[in-house]
Structure 1
């Protein structure tokens, strides 16, 4: 008589060692897919300034800033949060255009950037700001009205505002 009882044969998916070997591989695939999804959804935004790539180096062009310095341009922006209005007092030696473009660039998300058309009325410029005025923004003022042609503008002024600290921001030519 045979005293050993035979274990009944289990299906392949119920074997312990199969899952010991496959579990780390499956976990790696899930983690990799998650990381790739995060990288694609939250990719870094592009830089929108006067930089150009020459071989392996990036160069900054300051011609617009130099032209603004030559014209003695400077400005002061004043935001009125309750009305979502911005006013600009611009000083300098130039023939003032009827319209200017103010670009408010979010430091992190390009999708949140705003382009505001400022109309001349009397001695100052005014415009309507869409959305809520909060947090920190980079400011760029130029006479070119198409944001995609910012490299063709004759001059530009730059500034920065943090709405947590105040509602006014000076605009000046960038300093290298």
Structure 2
């Protein structure tokens, strides 16, 4: 083998292959660090004691809805939402809150205020797109009771919404 047959190191395969291993580690590490520092995890709870107490309060509100025998039918058609009480309707006809909680994306959560019409059907309009899996919660303004359900929207059928 003569000296003229030997290629310089930068024209050979193995030095570049060995250089690419640590270089690719730095690139992947950069992506991992950027994903880790991208934002806060909204699914993590900081204070488990307070969360445990809040669960007991929520269970009391569900039991109150069961005691009042609240049975509703929820309709979501395009931009219109209606809730009709089949039993246990509030006597005061006060407004109701309908909370939409997206199961994974907290920034998509929103609330709708429903007001009763002359027939006792609670109605509201919304311009928010509700596609995907949602956790819905219906409460009066004083939050004395609560009815909740998890469902996949949109749906054309009426939704039975009971405690």
**Is the pair's TM-score, using the shorter chain for normalization, greater than 0.5?**
yes
1:54 maps to which residue? 49
Alpha-carbon distance in 2 for matches of 1:156, 1:46: 22
Question: Number of residue pairs matched?
Answer: 151
1:86 maps to which residue? 81
1:35 maps to which residue? 32
- Among 122, 126, 129, which residue is 2:126 paired with? 129
After superposition, the C-alpha distances for 1:21-67 in whole angstroms (9 at most, x for unaligned) are 6643332222122123234447643389xxx7239x95732111111
* CA drift at 1:111: 1.2
* CA drift at 1:165: 4.7
Query: Which 5+ residue runs of structure 2 have no aligned equivalent?
Result: none
Greater percentage in helix? 2
Is 2:152 the partner of 1:162? yes
After superposition, the C-alpha distances for 1:94-117 in whole angstroms (9 at most, x for unaligned) are 434421110111122111112111
Is 2:102 the partner of 1:112? no
Query: Which 5+ residue runs of structure 1 have no aligned equivalent?
Result: 146-152
2:61 maps to which residue? 64
CA RMSD in angstroms comes to 3.5
TM-score (ref. length: structure 2): 0.71
Alpha-carbon distance in 2 for matches of 1:92, 1:156: 12
Is the 8 Å Cα contact of residues 135 and 164 (structure 1) preserved in structure 2? yes
Alpha-carbon distance in 1 for matches of 2:42, 2:134: 15
TM-score (ref. length: structure 1): 0.67
